[in-house]
Amino acid sequence: MTRQPTVLDVAEIAGVSRQTVSNVLNSPHIVRPDTRERVEEAIKQLGYRPHASARRLRTRKSSTIGIRLDPVTNGISGSVLDRFLHALTEQADAFGLRVLLFTARDPDDEIAQFERLLDGADVDGFVLTSTTYEDPRTEWLLEHDAPFVTFGRPWGAADVYDPRHRWVDVDGHHGVAEATRGMLELGVSHVAYLGWPPPSGTGDERRLGWRDTMLAAPGLGLREPDLDALEIACEDGVEQGSTAVRALLARGVRVDAVVCASDSLALGALMVLGTSVPIVGYDNTPVAAAVKLSSVEQPLEQAAGAALELFRAVGPRGDSFDPDGSANDPDHRLLRPRVFWR
Amino acid sequence: MTRQPTVLDVAEIAGVSRQTVSNVLNSPHIVRPDTRERVEEAIKQLGYRPHASARRLRTRKSSTIGIRLDPVTNGISGSVLDRFLHALTEQADAFGLRVLLFTARDPDDEIAQFERLLDGADVDGFVLTSTTYEDPRTEWLLEHDAPFVTFGRPWGAADVYDPRHRWVDVDGHHGVAEATRGMLELGVSHVAYLGWPPPSGTGDERRLGWRDTMLAAPGLGLREPDLDALEIACEDGVEQGSTAVRALLARGVRVDAVVCASDSLALGALMVLGTSVPIVGYDNTPVAAAVKLSSVEQPLEQAAGAALELFRAVGPRGDSFDPDGSANDPDHRLLRPRVFWR
């Protein structure tokens, strides 16, 4: 690479001191207009650009967000977080932010990485995905006053709307309720639910979306015990889904339709029930599209944009924050998914 | 966040000048041993860590690799590059390197990003994925003497083993040949090939893996025209795969088995042929596992490690380079995939 012009080159061409060039870059108002013009002309002539590390050192800001790359799972829904990361990286530029990746074996390791990246001023803060009950990571970040935004609510927190913990999330209750209503509109009554074992922040909420809708449906006449018989939980996975559906059928339960907590489970159900029984999955993964499964789609582009907006607004409340209609309050965004019917 | 200790705090505690602290950090051999000890003691006491940006400014090295996050595709094989990125990020730490993400709309936009990131010293260089014929990106990087390694060979280059273009790749010819041999060992003769239209670096090579194996198979007696009838090409996709297989069958061709250029195509073939005809896909994606398709698996962890090794070795040949047995030459690594039979 040819040598980049330095601040000294600029100073020489402009016939000023290094300090003057530095002043033009950092405090132009203290420099005489004619001198400033000469320096600016030299900067332009040389194509000089202030070194990014120098700029960051000066501002003590890296304009960089750290994001942990989740471990690759064998599930087919892992693609959702990858899509969120894509959307976030794509939009970061417009916010003047960059994305630095790291990996971690477990939450403790992730916390060690937080510390290292903050200490080195490598990042200004973090966007976290996959929040859990009593998440030790957000506790650590709050204790250390480190800027962060989570994609996911602080499950189990005393105050989910704590202004110190900014988050963006997708309303899974709403998505599954809409899927369940869509099934009931087909004229069927026994809509089964295939979900995950509690406790699971996202899982419990999706399950309630189905349950509340079934209980509220006019004329269905299903009561709590009927619903208990219509639902089954298993770990996420295609085979697990198939096994669970077989177990549900073995109970002698009538199954008119199935709403699932994930596309993996939905694919498992599809492999047992075939296309005779309508099935809705969750996350609208490429696999759902490939096998023509209806599925709940999360608005990931919108979620990424909201996360960046909240991240930029972290710290003392500034003027930069511009809440839009979808906000519940300035620090939290609960977005609505929609069912992609096929 | 509590204020980080600075070099001035260290200087004060140690009773030396700021320059002396700087000397201890950067040129310890020029500092008197007793002074050095005092400064080191103060650094330890304060928990002072040199600011990463300052370190980078000093060394003019960011120890950061820029990687473009590929656009999200609807295909199911996009996960391969995500898995490569995961493996690379996981292993980068051990090489003292970090991963900065960016996105780009097209090759021109990607080149503009290269320029911006290099100008700002945000990255030392790049790891590129998805190389194409006459790739304008690698041409630009070579012209500008910017360090890079590609995951993928320089398709169509006059010299694929040009030492200035370091690459790691997976031998698709070998993978498809092994898949084809596995099919022939089942005792069948009419192994069809479902691939992509030329020109495609990876596609053409995979196709030849099938073709060369079929021609060389003892006792098969298939000639060029027989092979022409047994192969069909289409764009990647599940539906495209189904349509192509139907077209192949409509020709009246006998199909005993199918080898495919991707899992998407294989899933498309599976949806037409069912499990009666053995099918092998490529990339061993989660979907292949879910529907129990055999598939060629790329050694992505090994590819990521090799890419990092080559990246670190970019520039004047140093002592740090330690070629292992899998190398073809010090600058290029062609790794072998294996068939994951199900």
Taking all residues of chain A, what is their mean pLDDT, rounded to a whole number?
86
Region A188-206: mean pLDDT is 94
Residue B318 has a pLDDT of 37
Integer angstrom CA distances of residue B186 from A108, B179, B182, B210, B292: 50, 11, 7, 16, 18
Q: Say whether pLDDT at A93 is over 60.
A: yes
| A7-50 shares its CATH topology with A173-297 | no
Better pLDDT: A79 or A246:
A246
A165 pLDDT higher than 70: yes
How large is the angle between the packed helices B52-59 and A52-59, nearest 10 degrees?
150
Q: Which residues of B touch A146 (CB under 8 A)?
A: 1
Highest mean pLDDT among A167-181, A308-322, B286-300, B325-339: A167-181
Inform me whether the pLDDT recorded for B147 exceeds 90. yes
The verdict on B95 touching A (C-beta cutoff 8 Å) is no
pLDDT in tens, B72-104: 655 565 667 778 988 899 898 788 888 999 988
Interchain contact, B121 vs A52, CB within 8 Å: yes
Name which of B90, B119, B267 is nearest A49 (Cβ-Cβ). Answer: B119
Is domain B64-170+300-336 annotated with CATH 3.40.50.300?
Answer: no
Task: Find the angle CA(B89)-CA(B95)-CA(B96) to the nearest 5 degrees.
Answer: 90
Task: Provide φ and ψ at A117, rounded to 5°.
Answer: -70, -35
Q: How far is CA B287 from CA A76, A149, A264, B10, B40, in A?
A: 7, 32, 10, 57, 55
Rounded CA separation B194/B207 (Å): 8
Is B79 in Cβ contact with A51 (below 8 Å)? no
A295–chain B Cβ distance below 8 A for any pair: no
What sign results for the dihedral spanned by CA atoms B230, B235, B67, B163? Answer: positive
- Quick one: pLDDT at residue A221? 84
For the sheet with B279-282, list strands across it.
Answer: B231-233, B191-195, B257-260, B279-282, B294-297, B338-340
- Amino acid B328: pLDDT: 57
Q: What pLDDT score was predicted for residue B201?
A: 87
Q: Which pLDDT tens digit goes with each residue over B174-186?
A: 999 999 999 999 9
**Contact map slice: A 181-200 vs B, CB within 8 A:** none
pLDDT score recorded for residue B18 = 84
Which band of pLDDT confidence, cut at 50, 70 and 90, is reported for residue A329?
A: confident
User: Is a pLDDT exceeding 50 seen at residue A324?
Assistant: no
Are B227 and B207 in contact, with CB atoms under 8 Å apart? no
CA distances from B76 to A180, A236, B86 (A): 27, 19, 17
Closest CA to B172 of B192, B149, B201, B130: B201
Q: B146 CB near a chain A CB, below 8 Å?
A: yes
User: Nearest residue on chain A to B4, judged by CA atoms?
Assistant: A119
Q: Are A124 and A308 in contact (CB under 8 A)?
A: no
- Which of B7, B103, B240 should one mutate to test binding to chain A, selecting the residue with the greatest count of A CBs within 10 A? B103
Confidence of residue B296 (pLDDT cuts 50, 70, 90): very high
Partner A contacted by B49 (CB < 8 A): yes
Q: With a CB-CB cutoff of 8 Å, which residues 115-144 of chain B face chain A?
A: 118-122, 144
Interchain CB contact of B102 with A (< 8 Å): yes
Question: What is A64-170+300-337's CATH superfamily?
Answer: Response regulator (3.40.50.2300)
The CATH H-level superfamily of B173-297 is: Response regulator (3.40.50.2300)
The pLDDT assigned to A256 comes to 96
Of A40-44, A153-157, B291-295, which has the strongest mean pLDDT? B291-295
CB distance from B57 to chain A under 8 Å?
yes
Is domain B7-50 annotated with CATH 3.40.50.970?
A: no
Confidence of residue A75 (pLDDT cuts 50, 70, 90): low
Mean predicted confidence (pLDDT) in B293-306:
94
Q: What is the CA radius of gyration of chain B?
A: 26
Whether residue A102 is predicted with pLDDT greater than 70 in this model: the reply is yes
More confident call, A2 vs B317: A2
CA angle B67, B70, B71 (to 5 degrees): 145
Percent of chain A with pLDDT over 90: 52
CB contact under 8 Å between B146 and A1, yes or no, is: yes
A145-161 average pLDDT score: 90
Question: Are the C-beta atoms of residues A252 and A260 closer than 8 Å to each other?
Answer: no
Which of A54, A99, A144 is facing B101, going by the closest CB pair?
Answer: A99
B3, B82, B297: best to mutate for the A interface, most A CBs within 10 A: B82
A54 band by pLDDT with thresholds 50, 70 and 90: low
B98 touching chain A per CB within 8 A: yes
Mean pLDDT of B271-286: 92
Residue A291 banded pLDDT, cuts 50, 70, 90? confident
Confidence of residue A195 (pLDDT cuts 50, 70, 90): very high
- Residue B233 is predicted with a pLDDT of 97
| Residue to test with chain A: of B64, B101, B115, B291, most A Cβ within 10 A | B101
pLDDT in tens, A220-240: 888 889 999 999 999 998 889
Residue B290: which of A71, A83, A267 has the nearest Cβ?
Answer: A267
What are the extents of the domains in chain B? 7-50, 64-170+300-336, 173-297
